[in-house]
Amino acid sequence: MTDTMTTANANAMGRPLRRKEDARLLHGQTNWTDNIQLPGTLHMAILRSPMAHAKIARLDVTPALSRPHVVAAFGAAELGDLNGSIPCVWPVTDDIQMPAFPALAVDKVRHVGDVVAVVLASDKYAAADALDAIEVDYEPLPAVIDMEAAMKHGSVAVHAAADGSHGSNVCYEFPLKPTGDGSFEAAVAAAGDDAVVVKRRFINQRIIAGFMEPRAVVASPMGMSNEMTIWSATQIPHVLRVLLSLVTGLPENGLRVVAPDVGGGFGGKLQLYREEVLAVQIARKLGRPVKWVETRSEDMVASHHGRDQIQDIQLAATKDGKLIGMKVDLIANMGAYLQIITPGIPLLGMFMYPAIYKMPAYEFNCVGVFTNTTPTDAIRGAGRPEATFAIERIIDEMAAELGMDPMKLREMNWIKHEEFPYTTVAGLTYDTGNYEAAIAKALEAFGYDALRAEQEQRRASGDPVQLGLGISTFTEMCGLAPSRTLGALKYVAGGWEHCTIRALPTGKIELITGTSPHGQGHETAWSQIASSILGVPVDDIEVVHGDTGRAPYGMDTYGSRSLAVGGQAIKKAAERLIEKARVIAAHQLECSGDDLEFIQGEFRVKGDPAKAQPLAAVAFEAFSAHNLPDGVEPTLQAEATVDPDDFSYPHGTHLCAAEVDTETGKVTLRSYVAIDDVGIQVNPLIVEGQVHGGLACGIGQALYEGVEYDKDGNILTASLADYLIPSAADLPSFITGQTVTPSTTNPLGTKGVGEAGAIASTPAVINAIVDALRPMGVTDVKMPATPENVWRAIQTAKGGAE
Amino acid sequence: MTHVPISVTVDGAVYDAEVEPRRLLVHFLREDIGRVGTVVGCDTSNCGACTVLLDGQSVKSCSVLAVQADGRTVLTVQGLAEGEHKWHPVQEAFKECHGLQCGYCTPGMVMATVDLLNENPSPSESEIREGLEGNLCRCTGYHNIVKSVQYASELMGGSK
């Protein structure tokens, strides 16, 4: 059963190899940030605001200093100039409001969980105990939690500076931009009486990332002069190093950032967090290592949240089902401050509302709003799940309006496989795709027709448990991103990726990648790519990552970019290595480089296969340098930095069958089919695992998860007892499958898979629930579709009391 | 705070220590004796990442005081294999079935599985799902964890 690749002469690409990472992880031989215990470490404990909005009238940290084991305590005043401000690197418009975001709150707190003060003690329990001794007088201020209330002139202002012409708390307004043939209204008007417009308001609720390893950071100033080593449970060690240098003023060349074993991220660790800044600044000030590990309760209020958009969607079609246009008006909750890419998240969705469909008109408008809530930012999919939810939900609504089968309506409007490359109304050019193939495969695996028949039966018999079928035919953009495109969108950084490959004297390979895995299996998959090119056994390749000291260049891991972009760098570096080796091998074999062919890890003289030189022998020659050709430098290594030409576009069809108890509102997922086209696969086992995890996340949003605030801004879901991350008992097994349409935007033909499941599944589930209940008059269900929310939707449709 | 002497056998070795009465077993394991393979994922005993066996029964070591382990035997994921080459069938099965991704829930998931299979050598899918309800995973969607448990059951001689 096990496919453990150890021979050089088989192609490792595309095989379901068992992961290299697992031996360590399964034996507890791990290196989480929290495992790091340096001599002299001070443990940081954080006093967080219990109020959503208040003036700090008085703060006295000195009583904490007399507590046992306490070495120091800081409020903003004590930290002084070292209290840096967290930057936002995606100012999406020229007139965006970018308020100060100090690591320690200055004068005011703006959300529950805002950082007021810190205590440093030589014992972790003692640090937490001493928080009680800090004296704070808060003067409570009215809090604004509701986005629409926050937008109104005269609302409580989260930041004084944001009280401008747009309204009290408007961070930015991304202008209404008609694309395609013209405005939405004009397109509808042109269709005259033939136009059918469906308008819906969807609430894409606030969720958490839910990585299992809580955030953690250790900052150690112990080392060479000017040097600070930072271990952090982060997805972005390289980006973090740049940002920490910019924020702290510490020279970048003195900072080493290490992401050791990282226990999941899902976008939630794509961040520069204030706790990271505080650890560095305090370590610097006190000259001792500082360690902070969050509790889960802190995570729930302080790690960034995601989604939280009000989506006003209009879709227009002709009566026979031809799409005319779409108009999207978003209100996006920024939270109380801007984290690094908070404002840009809805804009990642902007491109994806038209999805797989052809339509001549499209308009998008987004207002970003400050509220007294935890800041939002990227969570698995980042903007694209919201877009996919809206389009796939409203397509179903349109189908109901037109009295058409929802799959039929999709089919009438999707881009046919022979129409690729296709430039969508949102301005993206999809390189390849074959929606028909994925859909056909999904329908077969699902047993669509039989389920529809059963649904009819249950409807006819008045079964209290109704059956609903939900469709989601999605696409997404991966491979973030061409640097010029990012620049055009006002994102500060680029989207390239780097790889260095070293052939060591003993024949082993060191593959140094700029991607930073935290569960994705890069060590295995990157070895497979390099093995297939270099002909070296997978087990002889060591993948080095996540440490700016050992892997100095990279843009890290998020946005399903690691393979689509990083994979290109691996391929190019490996090919360059072979070209350098060819020159040495030709010298060794006393022939011309052109006379050599590189097969199964060795250079062979064409027509005389007995004359051959393995790569390992060339590597040793490059090391000893006894007999190198003139002008060839010792050592055998090659590097490549690749900026992608374009995005890649995974797609697929997800089908969900849900049983809905109309008396209790309970939803049971009966079957779930996911057919994904992620292009060429490096390791199908890993691909499948990524899909499963994404499904759980997206189904979680549909059925179980949601951050709830009360009107005063208290989080009602501040622990895993209240916020329901699905357990094994809450989910079904999944039926997964693939179609393979290679991407043409990168030479490996890969697309990206990390977010697909999360993007596609939420609308599939909700569509299934609404489909089950539509005969009762239900046209939407609030997420998460808990029994209560489903029951209320039924009662409302019946005209009963809410 | 007064310290209390305890003696705990962890993964086959005896550890004598003096701990605060309030010290959690998981902190004793991780911070006092360096058994960092067992991890902490929450503070409400919901996630199960810290699951170990205490006298053969699975417990969440964040919900047990170190003093409660005095005189008792703890088995963590680090003590499960017999040497480098003799993996426990549950470990083998999780690797074979890709039952882990980031690996953070894994120590607890593996130990909870060992306990589940001790009690019920051939669980059905729903018994597996119910049995592991107290262990959260965000990466795998549990699909391959269920397969791993089924495969471990096979390896350990439980009939399907």
Q: What is the pTM of this model?
A: 0.97
Q: What is the mean pLDDT of residues A621-644?
A: 97
Closest alpha carbon to A399 in A310, A319, A498: A319
Given a cut of 80, whether residue A400 has pLDDT beyond it is: yes
d(CA A545, CA A514): 6
Return the residue matching tokens 């003590």: B79
Phi, psi of A389 (to 5 degrees): -60, -50
Q: What is the pLDDT of residue A160?
A: 81
Q: What is the pLDDT of residue B159?
A: 53
d(CA A596, CA A630): 19
Please answer yes or no on whether A34 and B144 come within 8 Å at the CB atom.
no
Strands in A411-508 per DSSP E: 422-423, 429-430, 465-475, 497-503
Return the residue matching tokens 């000893």: A624
Please answer yes or no on whether B134 and A35 come within 8 Å at the CB atom.
no
β-strand pairing of A54-60 with A135-140:
antiparallel
Whether A720 contacts chain B with CB within 8 A? yes
Rg of chain B over all Cα atoms, to the nearest angstrom? 16
Given a cut of 80, whether residue A391 has pLDDT beyond it is: yes
Please answer yes or no on whether A26 and B35 come within 8 Å at the CB atom.
no
Please answer yes or no on whether B103 and A214 come within 8 Å at the CB atom.
no
CB contact at 8 A, A595 and A606? yes
CB atoms within 10 A of CB A40: 11
Given a cut of 50, whether residue A69 has pLDDT beyond it is: yes
**Residue numbers in A near B107 (CB within 8 A):** 28
d(CA A221, CA A224): 8
pLDDT in tens, A23-50: 999 999 999 999 999 999 999 999 999 9
> Counting one residue from A and one from B, how many pairs have CB atoms under 8 Å apart?
183
Please answer yes or no on whether A757 and B141 come within 8 Å at the CB atom.
yes
Please answer yes or no on whether A22 and B129 come within 8 Å at the CB atom.
no
CB contact at 8 A, A647 and A745? yes
% of chain A surpassing 70 pLDDT: 97
**pLDDT bucket at A84, cuts 50 / 70 / 90:** confident
Please answer yes or no on whether B103 and A25 come within 8 Å at the CB atom.
yes
d(CA A434, CA A62): 66
Whether A264 contacts chain B with CB within 8 A? yes
CB contact at 8 A, A289 and A41? yes
Domains and CATH numbers, chain B: 4-79 (3.10.20.30), 89-155 (1.10.150.120)
- Tell me the nearest-neighbour CA distance from A210 into chain B, angstroms: 7
pLDDT in tens, B43-75: 999 999 999 999 999 999 999 999 999 999 999
Cα angle value A711/A134/A103 (rounded, 5°): 65
Domains and CATH numbers, chain A: 22-30+496-642 (3.30.365.10)
Q: Looking at chain B from residue 1 to 20, which residues have their Cβ under 8 Å from any Cβ of chain A?
A: 20
How far is CA A554 from its chain centroid? 17
pLDDT in tens, A455-491: 999 999 999 999 999 999 999 999 889 999 999 999 9
- Tell me the nearest-neighbour CA distance from B77 into chain A, angstroms: 6
Given a cut of 60, whether residue A162 has pLDDT beyond it is: no
Q: What is the mean pLDDT of residues B31-42?
A: 98
Whether A728 contacts chain B with CB within 8 A? yes
Q: What is the pLDDT of residue A44?
A: 98
Whether A214 contacts chain B with CB within 8 A? yes
pLDDT in tens, A325-360: 999 999 999 999 999 999 999 999 999 999 999 999
Cα angle value A80/A82/A83 (rounded, 5°): 75
For B30, the closest chain A residue by CA position comes to A35
Q: What is the mean pLDDT of residues A758-778?
A: 98
Q: What is the pLDDT of residue A2?
A: 42
**Residue numbers in A near B105 (CB within 8 A):** 212, 263
**pLDDT bucket at A3, cuts 50 / 70 / 90:** very low
- Where does residue A482 fall: left (phi above 0), alpha (psi -120 to 50 degrees), or beta otherwise? beta
Which of B41, B87, B146 minimises the CB distance to A733?
B146
